[in-house]
Amino acid sequence: MSYLLSNLLRRTILLSIASSAPAKRWSPWQSLEFAGGQQVPRHRKTSPVMANMVEDSQDDRLSKLPDDVLLNIVERLGIVDVARTTVLSRRWKQIPAILSKVVILAGSFEPKHEDWSKLTPDDIVRANTTVLEATRSILERRAGSLYPIHLLRMQFYLGDESILIGQTVANAIATQKVDSAEFTILTKVRKKCTKNELLIYGKQFMSFFDSCPNAFGGLARLTLENLRLGESGFPKIFSICKQLEFLSLYECDMGIKSLLEVEHPQLSELVIVCGRFERVDLKWAPKLTKLKFNVFRCRDDPFCLGYVPLLQTVSIINVAFTWHKMLKLSELLDKAAISNLSLDFKSEKIWVKPEGRRQLLPVFHKLSILNLINIAEECDLTWTMFLLDGAPSLKELHILVRNHLCEMVTGKRRELPVVCKEKDKGLEWEPSTSDFKHHNLAGLSIYGRFHAVDKLVRFARNVVEAAVNLEDIRLYKSPVCVRCKYMLQEWTFEETSWLRYEFSKEIPSHVRIHFPSLGQVF
Ligand SMILES: *[C@@H]1O[C@H](CO)[C@@H](O)[C@H](O)[C@H]1NC(C)=O
Ligand SMILES: *[C@@H]1O[C@H](CO)[C@@H](O)[C@H](O)[C@H]1NC(C)=O
């Protein structure tokens, strides 16, 4: 009986979400909740008549469903969509009080456009009005509930009414047990804002912030975009958001060449994407474990590390122009002993400077995973050995060699004088001893199109010669992004036979060559 009911219920809910499937659009976070997952029949038309029929026949039976069964279904299918169906009207009254996961995302109310920039102002107004209604409908109905909310995740547009959302959340945090609260605050213009828009959004955000300090004070995660704040903006955010564990900033700053100083007792993950900071000074962040820098415009080191004793994972992504400095990792990562490092060159100029073992050891002695991503196909790869030489504990080395046209500077812009013509200039490197050996490297993974196969074979041979305990080499097809997803992802028999032959000419037979299929997309 209850199985039948849950099926019926699921079908009804699917009917209602088919029309409000999450919008697929550009987003550096991709955090949209896919209510209902694969089962959602996206193209199915919702017929109000049909929905009503289902409603009439099942409302009574729904009230017999045990709480835990209903809750399980509701949480898996996206509570907001459930809230919006009138199907549950009678039963719904009890549901908000027992929910443990409240996820309300503006993205899931927007019409499905391939391209987010096609969203009209009306779409946005409708989406954020629905967010406000859903927030109230769920949180206000929980008043007095003894069930804790484990996760309260909100994504909404910055607007005058954001304050009402903030106050509702602040009230929930004050009166109920909320383990983890999260805000993702979107701006109406999502990409390439003008200077003026950045300033307007910055002001608007700060007045929202000032009017709901209690909501911000309870957040564990905060994601912001397109804000140019005044001098006191970030210091205020850090001092009010005391619980903050995760902060992501996309095109946020305090003006061109501004300095961001980070002092925070709880922050464990910081993501900085674009923005015009001259430098981010991580002065005191005793719990910071992850740091990600994605594209920076400063000429010098983009960040400096102060007291960050737990920092383990660092990821740096940049397109280097002629005026960018060649970064010295020993100086940049000074005072940290990280274990996982990713460097992404976006198929343009290599922007790290080879250094000797003695300089690198203090920052690399714990390094166990190294990802070298998007090295342009025309680059020589010999320089990469300096990283192996300086990191004796390294266990896994992943290298992706490709010219990824979706990310590269293409067309007329390539002719601009700031675009580097020679991508591997200034990478001369001498090994510390003529026959240096590495004892810990266990796995080498090479991702690529294997067009310049000789270069990759030579690189693998150099690694094998140094890494005396290396037993496995994995060759992967170049990963694809959403834009080049039409490219074939699986190896063909001809390709693997050919590569096996090419590698066997130079690689000793005790090293096994594998051809796994790609389980991930970069
Ligand atoms: C929704 O967005 C519009 C346009 O940006 C804005 O005027 C309105 O205040 C926003 N509403 C909410 C609920 O945030
Ligand atoms: C290492 O860091 C990368 C990204 O910076 C991440 O995707 C990967 O999961 C990390 N690996 C481990 C074992 O922590």
Does pLDDT of 56 surpass 50?
A: no
With contact defined as beta carbons under 8 Å apart, do 491 and 477 qualify? yes
Q: What percent of the chain has pLDDT over 90?
A: 58
Q: Is 241 in the pocket of ligand 2 (CB under 6 A)?
A: no
Q: What's the pTM?
A: 0.85
C-alpha torsion angle, residues 208, 210, 215, 220 (rounded to 10): 90
For ligand 2, is residue 315 a contact (CB within 6 Å)? yes
Look at residue 72 in the predicted model and tell me its pLDDT. Answer: 75
CB distance 332 to ligand 2 below 6 Å: no
> What is the pLDDT, as a whole number, of residue 79?
63
pLDDT in tens, 71-81: 777 777 666 66
CA 438, chain centre distance (Å): 33
Residues paired with 342 in a beta bridge: 315, 371
Mutation test of ligand 2: which of 341, 342, 394 has the most ligand atoms closer than 8 Å to its C-beta? 342
pLDDT digits (tens, 9 = 90+) for 451-473: 889 999 999 999 999 999 999 99
pLDDT at 124 over 80: yes
Distances (CA, A) of 52 to 12, 30, 74: 9, 34, 19
Place of tokens 């997952």: 37
Q: Which of 333, 371, 447 to mutate to test the pocket of ligand 2 (most atoms within 8 A of CB)?
A: 371
| Residue extents of the structural domains in the chain | 1-186
Decide if pLDDT at 182 tops 90. yes
pLDDT-derived band of residue 129, with 50, 70 and 90 as boundaries? confident
Q: Any idea what DSSP says for residue 191?
A: S
Whether the CB of 137 sits within 6 Å of ligand 2: no
What is the pLDDT at residue 50? 33
Q: Are strands 340-344 and 258-263 parallel, antiparallel or unpaired?
A: unpaired
Q: What is the whole-number distance in angstroms between the Cα of residue 27 and the centre of ligand 2?
A: 20
Which single residue is written with the structure tokens 């005391």? 242
Quick one: pLDDT at residue 490? 85
DSSP string for residues in 95-132: HHHH-SEEEEEGGGGS---SSGGG--HHHHHHHHHHHH
Q: Both tokens of residue 392?
A: 């004796």
Write out pLDDT tens, residues 142-176. Answer: 877 888 999 999 999 999 889 999 999 999 999 98
- Ligand 2 atom closest to 314 (CA): 5
Dist CA 187 CA 185 (whole Å) = 7
Atom of ligand 2 nearest to the CA of 315: 5
**Cβ neighbours, 10 Å, residue 407:** 20
Which atom, in ligand 2's list, is nearest to the CA of 312? 14
Query: For residue 202, which of 263, 261, 251, 262 has the smallest C-alpha distance?
Result: 251
Alpha carbon distances (Å) from 420 to 381, 408, 429: 18, 12, 20
